[in-house]
Amino acid sequence: MNVRYVFAVAAMLGLAACAVDADAPVRVDSAIVMCNYFAKQTLARPATVQYPGNDTAKVTATSANRFKVVSYINARNEFGVLHRVSYTCVTSTKDGQTWVKESLTTH
């Protein structure tokens, strides 16, 4: 993901006044990784999780450090059957290192 993409998302959301710095793509990727982690915690058998590539996630920057991620993970249920868990997650960071789960909905 490049800086131009992040800037385009910010502009579409009316966030053009927010600074888009070199760390913005890192924060987007980190938001996806953290939401995958938060979704994994809801599984009956979290050790079986399979993550898709970051390019399958739909990410919306709701502010400079707050992201809405719509994606999925694959995992085996309590019967051993592989299934897909879709989720919508909102996460934020103040420093790019510590992330907070604001909401997580699986569907």
pLDDT score recorded for residue 25: 75
Q: Model confidence over 24-45: pLDDT tens digits?
A: 778 999 999 999 999 999 999 9
- What average pLDDT does range 41-65 have in this prediction? 95
Look over the chain and give the mean of its residue pLDDT values, rounded to a whole number.
83
Cα distances (Å, whole numbers) of residue 4 to 1, 25, 35, 66, 99: 8, 10, 23, 18, 24
pLDDT value for 41: 97
Helices within the chain (DSSP H only): 3-12, 24-40
